[in-house]
Structure 1
Amino acid sequence: MLKSIIAAAALSLAAGSALAQTKTEIVMQYPYPELFTETHKRIAEEFAKVHPEIKVTMRAPYESYEDATQKVLREAVTNQMPDVSFQGLNRIRVLVDKNIPAELGGYIAAEKDFDKQGFHQAMYDIGTAGGKVYALPFAISLPIVYVNLDLVKQAGGDVDNLPKSWDELIALAKKIKAIGNDTNGVTYAWDITGNWLWQAPVFARGGTMLNTDETKVAFDGPEGKFAINMIARLVNEGGMPNLDQPSMRAAFAAGKTGFHITSTSDLNKVTQMTGGKFALKTIPFPDVASPNGRLPAGGNVVLILAKDKAKRDAAWEAVKFWTGAKGAAIMAETTGYMPPNKVANDVYLKDFYVKNPNNYTAVGQLPLLTKWYAFPGDNGLKITDVIKDHLNSIVSGARAKEPEAVLADMTADVQKLLPKTTGTAR
């Protein structure tokens, strides 16, 4: 009997060892740890409960979307990429052009009743390049305005009738600045990744970055002139200080700024940082005036980079879970982003927006959503830096009095970096 027990135990240990050996490990990497570390930790814990056969290992996070893309481009050469990578919405194009991510069409087609899990065409459209799906959206953001209602009251503003236009916002910001005590009237996260808040005011007026075949700069028209002058007015009239994004966020959370314009993705962090020191409200991005006015969708998507089939299959299970109803709901609850998954919004978050109206501001702008534009060609990332440098010349005060001259120089510099051959808009 003892021999039988020992033999059974040995068989059990052998079976357990074999099971452990068949467990598939996938490596995952994501950007912005200050926003997403807790989010991915919680989703990974839930994923492990339903997929114990898949081990998810997290790499040290990317610092930013630019860092994420540059690292993957380098790692693709040395075959050291993670199996799953979260990238900025505007970085899909450059990775697809290098044939790096896996196409997801076959996986999507094989799923039964995928729409009932909250997946829909608009989700696929965001991650499409050249007519094929390479990514699923994980976290979606839009630009909004954060308002310190206490400072609005002190400046004589009406908290029940907050600004809807840039003219109104700048006029009230000027009054808030006049309060003194190192108070800022307004801050605008102009240097946010991928020129996002340069594109926003241009798109809001119905403009585009390039012409239809992507051969010529188009942001030098009336829409771009409005946008560049608006940014200059924030400096010249609103008294906007020259701060980086963390400093802007900290100043607002400390109760020193009247209006802070940035991504809805900051909402959870800003709310925690304010600690109830003042009444916080969010309002829509101003002056989406044209019938064709849109706002660029920010946030990130998830791509499968694994080459091994077993790892790809396991990665697909992870991608489904992260972007599915449960994962999307956790993402919304732990950040300020919006979930693109319908079931997450309709079921898991049914009461969330009632209790958290500041989170709903961006949701109300969803009909305005358009793609975050990515410039074509090998100089796409360089163009982003060029635009940022020109905007910096205004915000720093060096050329704040000549915004249209800055726009002309920016136009010429970007034009030089565009591909010489005719492109196709994406």
Structure 2
Amino acid sequence: MRKWLTTLLVLILVFALAACSDNKSSSGSDQTAKDSKGKTTLRFATWDSGEALKIQEEIAKKFEEKNPNVKVQVEAYGDGFDQKLAASFGAKNPPDVMYMWNFPAYFQSLEPLDNFIKSDAEMDMDDFYQGLFNYSSMYGKVYGMPAGFTTRVVYYNKDLFDAAGVPYPKDGWTWDDFKAAAKKLSDPAKKQYGFGVRPEPDTYDLQGFVWSNGSSFISEDGKKINGYMNSPETIESIKMFGDMVKDKSAVLVGGKNQQSGDDIFKAGKLAMWESGIWPLEGFKEAKVNFGTVEMPAFKGKPVKGVIASSAVSVAKDSKNKKLAWEFVKFYSSAEAIKMRTADLPVRISVVKEMKTEQDPLISPFYKMLERSNDTPAFLLNKNWDEINRNLSAAINAVMLGQDADKLMNKAVKDSEKYVGQ
């Protein structure tokens, strides 16, 4: 779901061209281009692949059924999503509608949706989880309708817990509980471990741990990293995972020549695994006897989480803005939301109808949603990409057992020149 990050040159090109583009009114008439069958082609770009892409294509077909004069061209950009999207913006030939997450980087190339929303009586904005709009709005304007989200929880293998005589984790547990269980559940001789640590974790995902320990990577006003990124609490949050690898209560997963954590969990060799909603269906298909639980807490501190959210947006340079809005509206409908299984429903009515929150495997994700009210760093500073390169390099080295204090302080020193720009 996180497609970090476009190259600096491409982003500069996007901003330069977007700034020069004319700000066309969303109430203007569409200049539709029709194919040989007289149908209007609507381009929709997604980063999805595999089964998730098939679902996107099914949603496109449903929209075509409701709009016989429209052909939706699904463009699967995959891992090259950001680069391809940025290049299309720069060339003034973007898809009409696209998946979106990095609004600070792209919002100048997107059409604000506020006028569409206000003039569309069918769009019930109160039916969406309101916190999700924090991730798709910039400077008071909505640039994307929430499409899906996930928080992060701990998956645990019940069979491994039973075999080791370790009680299942419960909401309200602590990181001390987590580490103690991981140690009891590890048996390196059998290549079985209590937890899986990513050697190159996404710093975005790590923010939940840091917030839970009372710190953050950057100040709330986005103007300071010294005392935040290198605070004792931040360093403790990161260092504990490298320490678990050292004492063999955890194993590195998902790096070069390493199996993914998902695959090792499926194979019954990983007792606990931290992730979003994405692997849940795969674990069911693999017939793993598993449960989910909300994230552990640092002693005496409230648990906090981070949201991975996606939205659908309309390109400012689209020649089919009204039609693009109709597609965005359909994509936000209960019918389309029910078709998607790789993320969690964004509409309250759908959650209630499907009784999603009552599913014991899903409930912890919604509990973590209630705890996810901090603002991610990339929304606080326009130069976060540059800062994050240094932060990522430091954290990757910490996961491999190097000195956390030295590395995090160096990351701050190397990044401070970007903070005030």
1:423 — aligned with what?
Answer: none
Give the one of 230, 250, 257 matched to 1:220: 230
Matched-pair contact (CA < 8 Å) for 2:85–2:94: yes
Question: Paired residue for 2:368?
Answer: 365
d(CA) in 1 for partners of 2:122 and 2:48?
33
**Could you say if the C-alpha distance between residues 208 and 179 of structure 1 is closer, same or farther in structure 2, counting changes exceeding 3 Å?**
closer
Residue identity in the other structure for 2:210? V
- Alignment partners' CA distance in 2, 1:242 and 1:188: 5
Secondary structure at the residue paired with 2:260? helix
- SS class of match (1:27): strand
**2:93 match:** 80
CA 343–248 in structure 1, closer or farther in 2 if over 3 Å, else same: same
What's 1:267 paired with?
Answer: 280
Counterpart CA distance in 1 for 2:169 and 2:252 is: 30
Q: Does 1:340 align with 2:346?
A: yes
> For the structure 1 residues 161 and 109, does the alpha-carbon distance in structure 2 shift closer, same or farther, using more than 3 Å as the test?
closer
Gaps of 5+ in 1: 1-17, 421-426
Shift of 1:380: 2.8
Unaligned runs of 5+ in 2: 1-33
Is 1:152 the equivalent of 2:158? no
Q: Secondary structure at the match of 2:362?
A: helix
Residue 207, structure 1, aligned to residue 236, structure 2: no
8 A Cα contact 2:155 2:273, kept in partner: yes
- Superposed CA deviations along residues 180-214 of structure 1, whole A, max 9, x for unmatched, are 31112201446454x22221111223433322332
Aligned to 1:13: none
Pick one of 397, 402, 407 that aligns with 1:393. Answer: 397
TM-score w.r.t. length of structure 2: 0.82
Distance 1:244 1:179, change over 3 A: closer
The code of the aligned residue for 1:164 comes to W
- Provide the secondary structure at the position in 2 that maps to 1:170: helix
1:21-420 pair list within 5 angstroms: 22-34=38-50, 36-63=52-79, 67-88=80-101, 91-96=102-107, 99-115=108-124, 118-119=127-128, 121-159=130-168, 164-178=173-187, 180-189=189-198, 191-193=200-202, 195-217=203-225, 218-244=228-254, 247-272=260-285, 275-276=286-287, 278-287=288-297, 293-305=303-315, 307-309=317-319, 311-331=320-340, 334-335=341-342, 337-347=343-353, 349-350=354-355, 352=356, 354=358, 356-370=359-373, 371-374=375-378, 379-397=383-401, 399=402, 402-420=403-421
Spell out, residue by residue over 1:126-149, the C-alpha distance to the aligned partner (whole angstroms, 9 max, x if none).
311111110111111111111011
C-alpha separation in 2, matches of 1:25 and 1:34: 23
Larger mean Cα displacement after TM superposition, 320-329 or 137-146? 320-329
Larger radius of gyration: 1
- 1:190–1:198 Cα contact (<8 Å) kept: no
SS at match of 2:293: strand
**Partner of residue 25, structure 2:** none
SS at match of 1:114: coil
Asked if 1 retains the 8 angstrom alpha-carbon contact of 2:183 and 2:194, the reply is: yes
Which letter maps to 1:203?
W
Q: Distance in 2 between matches of 1:83 and 1:154?
A: 54
Contact persistence 2:242–2:400 (CA under 8 A) = no
SS at match of 2:99: strand
Equivalence for 1:15: none
User: Identity over the aligned pairs, expressed in percent?
Assistant: 20
What residue in structure 1 maps to residue 18 of structure 2?
none
How far the C-alpha of 1:157 sits from its partner, in A, is 0.2
Where is the helix percentage greater, Structure 1 or Structure 2? 1
Between the aligned partners of 1:289 and 1:167, the Cα distance in structure 2 is 8
Amino acid at match of 1:342: I
- Further displaced range: 119-128 or 382-391: 119-128
Deviation at 1:360, TM superposition (A): 2.3
Q: Quote how far apart the aligned CAs of 1:242 are.
A: 2.4
- CA offset digits 1:336-390 (Å, max 9, x no partner): x21111222122x23x554x42122201222112343316666432333332221
